[in-house]
Amino acid sequence: MMMKKLLMTVLATTFAAAAFAQVEPAVKETAKATAESTKEAGDNVKGAVSSQPNKSVDKAKAHIHKAKAHAHRHQAKKAADAAVH
């Protein structure tokens, strides 16, 4: 009886670790996308209230953050699909 419980515990732990390993990349990419979106919003606000030379720089940075966030969201979606299938 004790051996059966031990075996079930080991199997449950193994499957939980495997599931986490599959989900982890999706979670990381989602966090990166959120961070880039936040940076984009900050640069848009800075661009709206700053003077002309800095305004174009901030808008360019916001555009770059938007592109990075899009790429991270795409990677997160691919990782989530891979974890499911």
Residue-range domain boundaries for the chain: 23-84
CA dist 34 and 19 (Å) reads 23
Query: Which secondary structure element, helix H or strand E, spans residue 20, and what is its range?
Result: helix 2-49
pLDDT at 21: 58
pLDDT at 16: 62
pTM over 0.75: no
pLDDT at 19: 59
The first and second tokens of residue 44, run together, are: 């848009």
* Rounded alpha-carbon distances, angstroms, from residue 7 to 18, 36, 69, 74: 17, 44, 43, 39
Residue 72 class from Cβ within 10 Å (0-12 exposed, 13-18 middle, 19+ buried)? buried
CB contact at 8 A, 43 and 59:
yes
In this structure, what DSSP letter does residue 1 have? -
**List of the chain residues with pLDDT < 70:** 1, 7, 11, 14-23, 84-85
pLDDT at 18: 60
